């Protein structure tokens, strides 16, 4: 049996051999609205190893934020993480936990940094009060002890004169300082996994670079694992060890960062890379025509096909699953009928077709193996 034939194609091992800090398997998150059923995250799998940064990249609407919210236990009605999804943090299954248990996990190991610090910080309280509140909640410290930890945290994120700045209000901080303060609050629970959802999108380029460097430094000092969400391929190139490219709720390509940039395989990833300003000097900046579709039905076709320059007839009739881009490529996968590349077109299409119909059988077999 060749590598391309072997089962469980969608889980790609992280770069390290250690047990992953986060293991997401067949995650499905659906929103049931009056009008439609939105399959916002539709069967994605990936791991994050200790001290590793995994990037999730894709256009607006591809399902990045819903992935983050699912992992944080922050999906509310009309949304639901479907049965059969698995999110394991340090080996512990999180799917099915009660809201209280989720709160406990968010305070003990997983923290999140959002895009817009101004809307996450409360304008009527000082920055110090808000960091101290996080310290009280997560470290059970009060009074001077909490103040001391808050000062330590502000210093850790590179805010000078921390004792004085604790007394200031969010509007007295610059955009970059506010994001540093948010990162300090996230660190209050001493996380092992930091989920960053577009943390630098609202900042100008110089400040963006400083925050990215801060995250790298903190990662090194604290052996943090980071899941980094962005629509910006330029940012992902700077921070990620491995990249998962999302499109309409699915991971369409996954590879170590250098390989993804040097040898992108999925037509969508190639399109995203062609639209980075300055990447191909002198060449016209291209965009991918059209928008990400809202995934509302069980896919029996490739969701990218309508925008794909490489689409052929079968793309309308067969749902591509993640396969190695060529036999033996263990850490580079693409969900595209063009792969594995060393197969004939007919063989590759047949592989995807049979994998699609076998998916339910595989899930049942996996569940039986676990017992």
Residues that bind ligand ATP (CB under 6 A): 31, 33, 38, 40, 58, 60-66, 78-79, 231, 294
Dist. CA 325–CA 233, nearest whole Å: 21
Q: Closest distance between ligand ATP and the C-beta of residue 65, in Å?
A: 3
Q: Which is nearer to ligand ATP, 66 or 239 (CB)?
A: 66
- Would you call 194 helix, strand, or coil by DSSP? strand
Backbone φ and ψ for 33, nearest 5 degrees, come out as -100, 170
Q: Which is nearer to ligand ATP, 33 or 101 (CB)?
A: 33
- Would you call 44 helix, strand, or coil by DSSP? strand
* Residue 199 tokens, joined: 């943390």
Neighbour tally for 306: CB within 10 Å: 13
Q: Closest distance between ligand ATP and the C-beta of residue 304, in Å?
A: 14
Q: Which is nearer to ligand ATP, 78 or 306 (CB)?
A: 78
- Would you call 50 helix, strand, or coil by DSSP? coil
Q: Closest distance between ligand ATP and the C-beta of residue 78, in Å?
A: 6
> Shortest CA distance to 80 belongs to which of 88, 89, 70?
70
The answer to whether 256 and 272 have CB atoms below 8 angstroms apart is: no
Q: Which is nearer to ligand ATP, 178 or 231 (CB)?
A: 231
Which H, E and C letters describe 66-130, residue by residue? HHHHHHCCCCCCCEEECCCCEEEECCEECCCCCHHHHHHHHHCCEEEECCCHHHHCCCCCCHHHH
Q: Which is nearer to ligand ATP, 241 or 250 (CB)?
A: 250
Distances (CA, A) of 239 to 36, 152, 159, 232: 36, 25, 22, 11
Q: Closest distance between ligand ATP and the C-beta of residue 262, in Å?
A: 25
Q: Which is nearer to ligand ATP, 65 or 130 (CB)?
A: 65
Q: Which is nearer to ligand ATP, 51 or 249 (CB)?
A: 249
Q: Closest distance between ligand ATP and the C-beta of residue 104, in Å?
A: 24
């Amino acid at each position: 049996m060749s590598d391309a034939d072997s089962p469980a194609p969608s889980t790609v091992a992280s770069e390290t051999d250690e047990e992953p800090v986060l293991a997401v398997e067949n995650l499905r998150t659906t929103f049931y609205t009056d009008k439609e059923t939105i399959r916002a995250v539709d069967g994605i799998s990936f791991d994050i190893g200790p001290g590793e940064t995994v990037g999730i990249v894709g256009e607006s609407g591809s399902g990045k934020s819903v992935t983050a919210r699912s992992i944080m236990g922050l999906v509310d009605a009309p949304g639901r993480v479907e049965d059969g999804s698995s999110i394991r943090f340090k080996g512990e299954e999180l799917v099915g936990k009660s809201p209280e248990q989720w709160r406990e996990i968010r305070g003990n190991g997983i923290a999140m940094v959002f895009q817009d610090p101004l809307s996450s910080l409360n304008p009527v309280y000082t920055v110090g009060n808000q960091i101290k509140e996080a310290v009280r909640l997560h470290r059970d410290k009060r009074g001077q002890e909490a103040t001391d930890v808050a000062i330590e945290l502000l210093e850790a994120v590179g805010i000078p004169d921390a004792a004085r700045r604790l007394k200031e209000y969010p509007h007295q901080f610059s955009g970059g300082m506010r994001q540093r303060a948010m990162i300090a609050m996230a660190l209050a629970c001493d996380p092992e996994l930091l989920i960053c959802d577009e943390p630098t999108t609202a900042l100008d380029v110089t400040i963006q670079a400083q925050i990215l460097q801060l995250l790298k430094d903190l990662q090194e000092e604290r052996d943090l694992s980071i899941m980094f969400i962005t629509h910006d391929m330029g940012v992902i190139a700077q921070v990620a060890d491995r990249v998962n490219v999302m499109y309409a709720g699915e991971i369409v390509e996954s590879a170590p960062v250098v390989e993804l940039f040097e040898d992108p395989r999925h037509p969508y990833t190639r399109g995203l890379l062609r639209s980075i300003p300055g990447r191909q000097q002198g060449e016209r900046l291209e965009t991918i025509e059209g928008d990400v579709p809202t995934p509302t039905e069980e896919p029996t076709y490739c969701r990218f096909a309508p925008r794909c320059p490489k689409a052929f007839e079968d793309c309308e009739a067969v749902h591509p699953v993640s396969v190695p881009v060529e036999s033996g490529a263990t850490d580079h996968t693409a969900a595209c009928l063009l792969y594995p590349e060393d197969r004939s077109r007919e063989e590759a299409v047949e592989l995807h077709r049979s994998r699609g119909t076998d998916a339910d059988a595989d899930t049942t077999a996996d569940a039986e193996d676990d017992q």
